[in-house]
A and B are shown apart, each in its own frame.
Chain A
Amino acid sequence: MTTVGWLQISLLFLAVLLVIKPLGLYMARVFSGERTFLSPVLARLERDLYRVSGINPQKEQSWLGYTLAMLAFSLAGFLALYAMLRLQAFLPLNPQGFAGMAPDLAFNTAVSFVTNTNWQNYAGEATLSHFSQMAGLTVQNFLSAATGMALAVAVTRALARSKVATLGNFWVDMTRATLYVLLPLAILVALAFVAMGLPQTLDASVTATTLEGSKQVIALGPVASQEAIKQLGTNGGGFFNVNAAHPFENPTAWSNYLNIFAMLSISASLVYTFGQIVGNRRQGWALIAAMAVLLISGVAVTYWAEAQGNTILTAIGVDPALGNMEGKEVRFGQAMTALYAAVTTGLSDGGVNGMHGSLTGLGGLVPMFLIQLGEVLPGGVGSGLYGMLVFAILAVFVAGLMVGRTPEFLGKRIEGREMAFAMLAVLILPLVILGFTAVSATLPFAVASIGTAGPHGLSEILYAYTSAAGNNGSAFGGLSGNTVWYNTTLGIAMLLGRFAYVVPVMAIAGSLAAKVKSPASAGTFPTDGPLFVGLLVGIILILGGLQFLPALVLGPVVEHFAMLAGQTF
């Protein structure tokens, strides 16, 4: 670790800190239906969209109506994307003449992009036509992110309102998230990306004659536009197989900054939006503080572990000065790769700028653990916020138990019904992750897919289901995931991780919205101070993390000690 490395990391966090308030306030206006500086351009388009779609923007929905609308929209998006991937051979903009995807891979990919996971069991540049990348994947990059934001706003309203039966209108929230937040930012970021060197063309490739006289076919495409929304929507599905490690997705240290900044800023700002809408900005900052503590700790562990280098290679004559360079790019080095790895998993992005499967035992433990915590640091756009609110509800409940007082969060009493749904939501991740991992680890044909034997093999399987259930999308890529078993089970894990989680969360929202919002009294446990932040961090670690500890010990921790002992597999 170097001072310069830490300075680089700090600058990024500083930049995000500066944008939280203005962007958070702007989004609060957007989701309150107020006019913004973009209204003169977009208001008409917005009205037309509602009119053609038969939506009455004034009509609010109950929690169930809101949830059903979200499910219907996700299903429609899934079917459209599935059909597009299967039929891509017959669709336009297919200069390489790629065939349609196989059914299991198309299922996996469509689920992956609709759930904002963006797990990739395919190599983009060798599988997908430009049409599929643009009209298929780019679209879901927008829509799955807008869906997450809408859900977070609905949960926020439940805490802001008193004795109401409705949480807003899903169609309006989703449309406004797309038009007023994601699209304008995506245009700015995409153009900045082109200026940094990301290609944006409809050509498929250019063939170069190398200095040594051989031919090099260089894949091209509309990369910058997809990369922009991939990050802003914390999707993470790259244009190319190796994602943002590819020099065309991430050519310089500056583009690397913009990548991380873009993925972090909306999620972090939404927490401020939450504080603004519930009328307690300090509450927003308290949540941001808890997220920052855990996220920066994650960066520190990965950075430290990777900077030590791989001791097995050091022993055979490799200089450890540059750290563990397998799977990393020279232009990023250890600091910016560690930062990316922690942020992409603390969020629900899943893009990578180095191969997570080649991280050291402890360096790779961190990204896996951050996803298992529920991706709330600050999580996917929207999904992170509502995940964090579930933890906040659990934290006030635990605090209430300790002092024997009825727990309250932002004036809302937390009772049996909310707790039951909160626990249901929190148990989805371990059930899906550990369940599928255990089954796969006992099936010979599933084990046959692993790339590196020994503890790393278990890590590969564990990481895959962690990433899928957490809707992250990054991978320990040694696992050959494009098999019927993994395509199907990972697809199911993604669906459960997104929808089986969000339905109980929306039920909590419905129940909270119906309650009276009582003013704070002398007996209220303050949820916007350092005591609560500490408690929240503890709850996240214990409830979110502890259940995964045995599996993590068998995988990455054993691998760490095996590496120190010089053992290979």
Chain B
Amino acid sequence: MLNHVRPALTLVVLLTLLTGLAFPLGITGIAQAVMPSKADGSRIERDGMVVGSSLIGQNFTSDRYFWPRPSATGPQAYNAAASSGSNLGPTSAKLKERVVGDVERLKQTGIAAPVPADAVTTSGSGLDPHISPAFAKAQVIRVAKARGLPPAVVADLVARSVHKPAFGLIGEARVNVLELNLALDALKM
């Protein structure tokens, strides 16, 4: 056993330097030089201010904006410093109670049952940047009314915001909520 001590210790140290420092720092160097905006988290700026990341969902509660999915992060929804899913099982009473409440809330805004599943379920990350096209369409009337816009204009914006699967195959049809809401704000101006 003793003859294994030296190689064990030295290799742990040397390979730590190689794989734990040289590798991540080297990749950081290349990434920052070649793809800085992606390496820094795909930030979106408006008027010189960071308003979010195109990859990370953010919370919207106002009627003037499209709403994202419910989020299970704490203490507030869409806490991007503490990602979390609900981890509630399918037979959880807490899950059922929460969904009953959310379906009811959506009904009051004019969305009839059955509601799209993503509209009342929390995502795995709690930071899902997307909603389904069905949920986006269901919100058109509410947003148009709150902004005093013709519903057709908002509906058209939603239709243009749908990301389709690549080659009609890879990925799911989806709408990026932050990008849609930014486009909505730009529309007014």
- Which residues of A does B touch, CB under 8 Å? 4, 7-8, 11, 49, 52-55, 68-69, 72-73, 75-77, 80, 123, 125-126, 134-136, 138-139, 142-143, 171, 174-175, 178, 183, 186-187, 190-191, 194-203, 205-212, 214, 216-220, 222, 224-226, 229, 240-242, 245-248, 251-254, 257, 309-310, 312-314, 316-333, 336, 352-355, 357-361, 451-456, 459-460, 476-478, 559, 562-563, 567-569
B169–A326 CB distance below 8 A: no
Assembly CA distance A242 to B72 (angstroms): 11
16 contacts between A and B (CB under 8 A): A80-B12, A175-B15, A178-B19, A199-B38, A217-B81, A218-B56, A224-B27, A242-B84, A242-B85, A242-B126, A331-B171, A357-B85, A358-B124, A456-B89, A456-B92, A559-B90
Q: Decide yes or no whether B93 CB sits under 8 A from chain A.
A: yes
Assembly CA distance A454 to B19 (angstroms): 44
B51–A225 CB distance below 8 A: no
Assembly CA distance A136 to B15 (angstroms): 11
B91–A563 CB distance below 8 A: yes
Given the known interface contacts A126-B82, A321-B117, A326-B121, the answer about A563 and B90 at a Cβ–Cβ threshold of 8 Å is: yes
Q: Decide yes or no whether B189 CB sits under 8 A from chain A.
A: no
B91–A559 CB distance below 8 A: yes
Assembly CA distance A171 to B27 (angstroms): 26
Q: Decide yes or no whether B157 CB sits under 8 A from chain A.
A: no
Complex partner residue of A313 from B5, B7, B96, CB under 8 angstroms: B96
A310–B90 CB distance below 8 A: yes
Contacts of B82 in A (CB 8 A): 123, 125-126, 219, 241
Complex partner residue of B50 from A209, A324, A352, A355, CB under 8 angstroms: A209
Contacts of B78 in A (CB 8 A): 216
Residue of A nearest to B13 (CB): A80
Contacts of A220 in B (CB 8 A): 40-41
A353–B19 CB distance below 8 A: no
A322–B90 CB distance below 8 A: no
**Within the complex, what minimum Cβ distance (angstroms) separates B166 from chain A?**
7
A207–B50 CB distance below 8 A: yes
Contacts of B10 in A (CB 8 A): 52-54
Q: Decide yes or no whether B31 CB sits under 8 A from chain A.
A: yes
Interface string of B11-36 (1 = CB under 8 A from A): 11111101111011111101110010
Assembly CA distance A178 to B12 (angstroms): 12
B116–A319 CB distance below 8 A: yes
Given the known interface contacts A73-B12, A329-B128, A352-B124, the answer about A201 and B32 at a Cβ–Cβ threshold of 8 Å is: yes
The interface centre, meaning the residue of A142, A314, A360 with most chain B CB atoms within 10 A of its CB, is A142
A357–B41 CB distance below 8 A: no
Interface string of B136-171 (1 = CB under 8 A from A): 000000000000000000000000000001101111
Complex partner residue of A318 from B16, B103, B168, CB under 8 angstroms: B103
**Within the complex, what minimum Cβ distance (angstroms) separates B142 from chain A?**
16
Assembly CA distance A483 to B100 (angstroms): 33
- A319-B134, A355-B87 known, 17 other contacts, Cβ within 8 Å: A7-B169, A68-B4, A200-B28, A201-B41, A210-B51, A212-B61, A247-B128, A253-B165, A313-B96, A316-B99, A320-B117, A325-B117, A327-B88, A327-B124, A333-B171, A336-B171, A451-B87
Residue of A nearest to B82 (CB): A126
**Within the complex, what minimum Cβ distance (angstroms) separates A393 from chain B?**
28
The interface centre, meaning the residue of B24, B96, B120 with most chain A CB atoms within 10 A of its CB, is B24
B171–A199 CB distance below 8 A: no
Contacts of B122 in A (CB 8 A): 326-327
B5–A72 CB distance below 8 A: yes
B172–A139 CB distance below 8 A: no
A218–B7 CB distance below 8 A: no
**Within the complex, what minimum Cβ distance (angstroms) separates A205 from chain B?**
6
**Within the complex, what minimum Cβ distance (angstroms) separates B138 from chain A?**
10
Complex partner residue of A208 from B43, B114, B123, B129, CB under 8 angstroms: B43
Contacts of B109 in A (CB 8 A): none
- Which residues of B does A touch, CB under 8 Å? 1, 4-16, 18-21, 23-28, 30-32, 35, 38-43, 49-53, 55-62, 65, 69, 78-96, 99-100, 103, 113-118, 120-132, 134, 165-166, 168-172, 174, 178, 181-182, 185
Assembly CA distance A75 to B24 (angstroms): 24
Contacts of A324 in B (CB 8 A): 90, 117, 121
**Within the complex, what minimum Cβ distance (angstroms) separates A546 from chain B?**
25
Residue of A nearest to B1 (CB): A68
A359–B182 CB distance below 8 A: no
B90–A241 CB distance below 8 A: no
B23–A322 CB distance below 8 A: no
Assembly CA distance A294 to B32 (angstroms): 42
Contacts of B115 in A (CB 8 A): 317-319
B38–A195 CB distance below 8 A: yes
Residue of B nearest to A257 (CB): B170
Given the known interface contacts A4-B168, A216-B78, the answer about A454 and B91 at a Cβ–Cβ threshold of 8 Å is: yes
Given the known interface contacts A73-B11, A216-B58, the answer about A360 and B165 at a Cβ–Cβ threshold of 8 Å is: no
**Within the complex, what minimum Cβ distance (angstroms) separates B94 from chain A?**
8
Residue of A nearest to B39 (CB): A200
Given the known interface contacts A175-B11, A245-B85, the answer about A135 and B16 at a Cβ–Cβ threshold of 8 Å is: yes
Assembly CA distance A313 to B115 (angstroms): 10
Complex partner residue of A355 from B20, B124, B132, CB under 8 angstroms: B124
Assembly CA distance A569 to B90 (angstroms): 10
**Within the complex, what minimum Cβ distance (angstroms) separates A196 from chain B?**
8
Contacts of B87 in A (CB 8 A): 327, 355, 357-358, 451, 476-478
A568–B91 CB distance below 8 A: yes
Contacts of A198 in B (CB 8 A): 38
Contacts of A353 in B (CB 8 A): 124
A452–B81 CB distance below 8 A: no
**Within the complex, what minimum Cβ distance (angstroms) separates B81 from chain A?**
4
B16–A316 CB distance below 8 A: no
Given the known interface contacts A69-B8, A330-B172, the answer about A183 and B23 at a Cβ–Cβ threshold of 8 Å is: yes
